[in-house]
């Protein structure tokens, strides 16, 4: 039904045209969910934009055929193309927070779209809108339709976006990362809905995503892209389980499996990446080992409560506090990795902030090694825990100061904690540390923006290590990264942990990643610990219902698929 | 490649914006003229011996009765208009830049601290800023002028005119810097690099000035340029109203005030030439400010 042949998309720039897509062929049949996967910059979204005719200026289609049914999409005038958008091709965007107009009721948004594409009066349009909402699983649609977008939860909002996309009976829907912003439970509902719509209404879906698990769950066929080119295309199960192209194989190797634990990820260019422990004589490694004193430091949290002042609703009454964490009892054994999983808003990052002293718990004690940690502002600037506890943040684009050179960023902990007083020595040690985390030492004179996300995350790890920490907090260290980069960073963290005996609190919303990394795992939900135990037993026979739900709903390759 | 483009984006945009280039050239020419006024100017308007009353009220060269020595004519004292303007611009720029420096140091320091500490300190600083905003600049200047007259001995009052004027302008401009610095540092405070620095136990002053400040320079630079124009205008306004500089050391505002007397008597150039000059100077600085704002805020492009 949708046929793309030899598509090429170019973006003119000051230095000639940049080819975003080249030689792309793809067909999508009615009722087919066609997955489009690739890492960032692969050109997935550009394909979607080219099909719907919304390429961001100054991009243009340089070559190729785009046909929908028997309509040639490229030969359409601007007016005809506009008529087709929404009527025959619709789009679902990533973020339901921003793709609905916050100032219009759901009813008005749906009716507006229906009336724009078919000649019906308002009451008929409203009736159709209500039927649609009911079809996609919104209860009491007749009353809920009067609500504004902010009165719906994230998952409900994404359903409304889907309702908007299907209200004109389109033949093709382009879904650009439709579940990336959603938690697993909601994600699985939305994916079910997409599958049902494809089956019942014979709508063709182009499902653009970076998540292989999502593809494995819903896509009939899949196309793997890289740098604007198709690497491999075919039946989902065949492409994912028996990939023929080396890139697909490498990609699949990097996907962390949920149902088993692997010791290391296979990374194709591992030869280039130096591995700690295998480098014969690294100054930074020697320096770290010599400062280690060979004592492993654990962390114990006892009855931690954290609450924030709530929003004031009355002038006279004190607002009810918002409880972010309660009854947190957690023992992180010295030298082990504790995984902390939970959906967004479960209090994972709040716990990290409490440990680092950025916020003060309302009550409870934190014990690092054999010393009680002062909480919040009581922790002075010179408190030894400032050096012993270090953190690797989620977003490597904001965790390094973009106006400082890598060398300045790395040597900061060295002079701050008074380890090395000589500038030249600090520089040498920083360079050696860069080597230790698998980067070229000449990076020391560059600025963060000259590096990719994965490289920046390596720098962030290096900075944390240069403080000679005993306890490392990794707050979603790979969730902003592509899956192949994620595999490299996870390998690096594992290696460093085994060489230097760090105790790590590893925070992630991704269960599969935690399974690969953690010795013990705690499951957090609404500020309470639902379950805690050895990672293997927790994943193999989860006790709490919530844990079971999380594990079953996480989209992964079905267990039945065998290589 | 992308990094390279980002780095030199500003220069590229500048090279492709004719208005910005013209404004830049004009502003640069005026700056050079003002800096080198003692060497360029025909006469020194502060030195009574360098001009003569006999040359008074000569029109510009294209009018009848002009002396080709004085291209844009002379005023009633026989001072060459070009020389007066160059010296006047010199004084205006010195006062403007000095006032701006004081305002920037005060405003950025308070704004950064307000953004960093937040809470009560932030509230106090910002309420003071609000009060300052409620007072017109002229009122602030009159206030400081009055206080200075009251407490300083008469002998040094004349010498301190420039300092009083500068302080008055600085006091009415620091609020802009404080508000911009505070708003921008609030954004930076949520960035993880700042949290990392705080977590590591770095000194607050280092976090503020070494970590946050370089990241908010963009908007501050825009404010600086736009406020330079305001400072020059403010100085001109105050001098025009007679609170500023006296007639024997004329700034642009003083020149315009003197010229006012000749508005209806046929010697139009004494008023119009300094006025046009002031307009051109302020407009070109403002164009540069707008251009900088566009460079630092890609969404407006």
Per-residue tokens: A272? 């280039």
What's the pLDDT score for residue B3? 46
The share of chain A scoring above pLDDT 90, in percent, equals 51
pLDDT digits (tens, 9 = 90+) for A296-318: 888 999 999 999 887 777 777 77
Q: How far apart are CA A93 and CA A524, in angstroms?
A: 29
Identify which of B61, B72, B98 has the alpha carbon closest to the alpha carbon of residue B275.
B72
- Which helix (H) or strand (E) element contains residue A389? strand A389-392
Identify which of A467, A468, A448, A449 has the alpha carbon closest to the alpha carbon of residue A459.
A448
Of A390, A403, A467, nearest to B214 by CB-CB distance is A403
Identify which of A454, A33, A36, A21 has the alpha carbon closest to the alpha carbon of residue A212.
A36
Contacts of B187 in chain A (CB under 8 A): none
* Disruptive mutation site among B201, B206, B212, B298 for chain A (greatest number of A CBs within 10 Å): B201
Whether A134 shows a pLDDT value over 50: the answer reads yes
Q: What is the DSSP letter of B199?
A: H
CA of A389 vs chain B CAs: smallest distance (Å): 8
Of B12, B200, B215, nearest to A403 by CB-CB distance is B215
User: Is the distance from CB of A189 to CB of A85 less than 8 angstroms?
Assistant: no
Q: How far apart are CA A557 and CA A258, in angstroms?
A: 9
User: Is the distance from CB of A313 to CB of A480 less than 8 angstroms?
Assistant: no
B226-256 b/e with 16+ CB inside 10 Å = b?
A: bbbbbbbbbbbbbbbeebbbeeeebbbbbbb
Give whole-number Cα distances, A538 to A237, A420, A545, B204, in Å.
28, 44, 12, 43
Say what angle helices A154-166 and A184-201 make with each other, to 10 degrees: 20
**Interface residues from chain B to A (CB-CB < 8 Å):** 1, 3, 5-6, 12, 191-193, 195-203, 211, 214-215
Give just the sign of the alpha carbon dihedral A232, A238, A243, A244.
negative
Q: How far apart are CA A83 and CA A109, in angstroms?
A: 18
Per-residue tokens: B145? 């002028």
Per-residue tokens: A74? 């490229």
pLDDT digits (tens, 9 = 90+) for A394-421: 888 899 998 899 999 999 999 999 899 9
Higher pLDDT, A538 or B54: A538
Q: How far apart are CA A224 and CA A208, in angstroms?
A: 10
pLDDT digits (tens, 9 = 90+) for B63-81: 777 777 777 777 777 788 8
Residue A118 three-state SS: coil
How high is the ipTM of this complex? 0.81
What's the pLDDT score for residue A279? 54
The share of chain A scoring above pLDDT 70, in percent, equals 96
Closest alpha carbon within chain B to A400: B193
Closest alpha carbon within chain B to A387: B200
Of B5, B199, B203, nearest to A356 by CB-CB distance is B199
Whether A71 shows a pLDDT value over 80: the answer reads yes
Compute the average pLDDT of residues A232-260: 91
**Interface residues from chain A to B (CB-CB < 8 Å):** 14-15, 356-358, 380-383, 386-387, 389-391, 393-395, 398-404, 412-413, 416, 447, 449-450, 463, 467
Q: How far apart are CA B208 and CA B206, in angstroms?
A: 5
Mean of per-residue pLDDT scores for chain A = 88
Residue A23 three-state SS: strand
Dihedral angle, C-alpha A545, A547, A550, A552, nearest 10 °? -70
- φ/ψ region of B57 (left if φ > 0, alpha if ψ in -120 to 50, else beta) reads left
Closest alpha carbon within chain A to B204: A381
Compute the average pLDDT of residues A170-189: 88
Q: How far apart are CA A198 and CA B288, in angstroms?
A: 56
CA of A525 vs chain B CAs: smallest distance (Å): 24
User: What is the pairing mode between strands A221-226 and A229-235?
Assistant: antiparallel
Whether residue A452 has a cis bond before it, omega within 30° of 0: no
DSSP string, A262-296: -SS---TTTTTS--TTTSS--HHHHHHHHT-TT--
What's the pLDDT score for residue A268? 65
**Contact check, Cβ <8 Å, A386/B215:** no
Greatest mean pLDDT among B32-41, B82-91, B275-284 lies in B275-284
The pTM of the full predicted model, rounded to 2 decimals, is 0.84
Whether A479 shows a pLDDT value over 60: the answer reads yes
Identify which of A38, A291, A297, A68 has the alpha carbon closest to the alpha carbon of residue A170.
A68
The values of phi and psi at residue A437, to 5°, are: -90, 15
What's the pLDDT score for residue A271? 45
Alpha helices in A204-264 (DSSP H): 212-218, 236-241, 246-254
């Amino acid at each position: 039904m949708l046929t793309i042949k030899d598509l090429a998309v170019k973006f003119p720039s000051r230095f000639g045209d940049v080819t975003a897509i080249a030689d792309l062929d793809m067909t999508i049949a009615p009722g087919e969910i066609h997955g489009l996967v690739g890492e960032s910059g692969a050109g997935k979204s550009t394909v979607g934009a080219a099909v719907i005719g919304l390429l961001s200026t100054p991009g243009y289609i340089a070559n190729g055929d785009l046909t929908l049914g028997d309509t040639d999409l490229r030969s359409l005038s601007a007016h005809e193309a506009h008529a087709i958008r929404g009527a025959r091709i619709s789009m679902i965007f990533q973020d339901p927070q921003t793709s609905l107009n916050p100032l219009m009721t759901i009813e008005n948004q749906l009716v507006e779209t229906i009336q724009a594409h078919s000649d019906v009066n308002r009451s008929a349009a409203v009736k159709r809108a209500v039927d649609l909402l009911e079809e996609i699983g919104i209860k009491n649609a007749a009353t809920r339709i009067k609500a504004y977008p902010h009165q719906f939860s994230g998952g409900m909002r994404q359903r409304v976006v889907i309702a908007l996309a299907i209200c004109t009976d389109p033949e093709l829907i382009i879904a650009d990362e439709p579940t990336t912003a959603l938690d697993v439970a909601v994600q699985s509902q939305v994916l079910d809905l997409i599958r049902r719509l494809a089956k019942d209404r014979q709508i063709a879906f182009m499902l653009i995503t970076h998540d292989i698990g999502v593809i494995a769950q819903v896509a009939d066929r899949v196309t793997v892209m890289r740098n604007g080119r198709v690497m491999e295309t075919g039946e989902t199960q065949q492409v994912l389980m028996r990939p023929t192209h080396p890139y697909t194989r490498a990609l699949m190797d990097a996907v962390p499996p949920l149902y088993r634990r692997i010791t290391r990820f296979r990374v194709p260019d591992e030869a280039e990446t130096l591995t700690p422990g295998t480098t014969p004589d690294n100054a930074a490694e020697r320096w770290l080992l010599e400062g280690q004193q060979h004592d492993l430091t654990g962390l114990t949290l006892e009855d931690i409560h954290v609450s924030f002042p709530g929003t004031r609703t009355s002038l006279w009454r004190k607002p009810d506090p918002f409880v972010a964490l309660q009854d947190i009892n957690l023992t992180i054994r010295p030298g082990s990795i504790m995984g902390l999983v939970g959906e967004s808003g479960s209090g994972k990052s709040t716990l990290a902030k409490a440990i680092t002293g950025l916020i003060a718990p309302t009550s409870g004690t934190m014990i690092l090694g054999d010393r009680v940690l002062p909480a919040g502002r009581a922790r002075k600037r010179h408190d030894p825990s400032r050096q012993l506890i270090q953190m690797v943040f989620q977003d490597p684009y904001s965790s390094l100061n973009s106006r400082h050179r890598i060398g300045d960023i790395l040597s900061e902990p060295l002079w701050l904690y008074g380890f090395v007083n000589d500038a030249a020595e600090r520089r040498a040690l920083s360079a050696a540390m860069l080597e230790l985390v698998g980067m070229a030492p000449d990076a020391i004179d560059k600025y963060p923006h000259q590096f990719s996300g994965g490289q920046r995350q390596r720098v962030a790890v290096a900075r944390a290590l240069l403080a000679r920490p005993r306890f490392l907090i990794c707050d979603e260290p790979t969730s902003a990264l592509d899956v192949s980069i994620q595999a490299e960073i996870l390998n690096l963290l594992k290696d460093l942990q085994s060489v230097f005996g760090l105790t790590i609190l590893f925070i992630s919303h991704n269960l599969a990643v935690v399974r690969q990394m953690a010795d013990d795992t705690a499951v957090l939900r609404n500020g309470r610990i639902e379950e805690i135990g050895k990672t293997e037993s927790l994943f193999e026979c989860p006790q709490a219902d919530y844990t079971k739900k999380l594990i079953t709903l996480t989209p992964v390759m079905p267990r039945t698929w065998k290589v | 490649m992308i990094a390279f483009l980002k780095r030199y984006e500003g220069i590229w945009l500048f090279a492709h914006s004719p208005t910005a280039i013209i404004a830049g050239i004009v502003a640069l020419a005026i700056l050079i003229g003002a800096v080198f006024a003692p060497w360029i100017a025909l006469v020194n308007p502060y030195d009574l011996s360098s001009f003569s009353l006999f040359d008074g009220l000569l029109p510009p060269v294209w009018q009848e009765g002009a002396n080709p020595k004085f291209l844009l004519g002379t005023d009633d004292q026989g001072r060459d208009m070009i020389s007066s303007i160059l010296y006047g611009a010199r004084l205006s720029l010195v006062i403007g830049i000095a006032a701006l420096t004081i305002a920037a140091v005060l405003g950025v320091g308070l704004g950064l601290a307000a953004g960093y500490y937040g809470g009560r300190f932030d509230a106090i600083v910002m309420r003071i800023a609000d009060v300052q905003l409620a007072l017109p600049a002229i009122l602030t200047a009159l206030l400081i002028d009055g206080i200075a007259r009251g407490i300083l001995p008469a002998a040094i009052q004349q010498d301190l005119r420039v300092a009083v004027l500068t302080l008055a302008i600085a006091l009415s401009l620091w609020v802009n810097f404080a508000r911009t610095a505070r708003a921008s540092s609030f954004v930076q405070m949520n960035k993880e690099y700042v949290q990392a620095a705080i977590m590591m136990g770095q000194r607050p002053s280092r976090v503020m000035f070494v970590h946050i400040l370089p990241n908010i320079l963009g908007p501050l630079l825009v404010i600086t340029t736009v406020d330079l124009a305001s400072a020059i205008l403010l100085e001109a306004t105050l001098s025009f109203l007679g609170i500023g500089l006296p007639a024997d050391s004329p700034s642009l505002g003083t020149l315009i005030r003197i010229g006012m007397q000749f508005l209806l008597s046929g010697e139009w150039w004494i008023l119009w030439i300094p006025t046009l000059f002031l307009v051109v100077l302020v407009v070109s600085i403002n164009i540069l400010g707008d251009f900088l704002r566009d460079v630092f805020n890609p969404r407006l492009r």
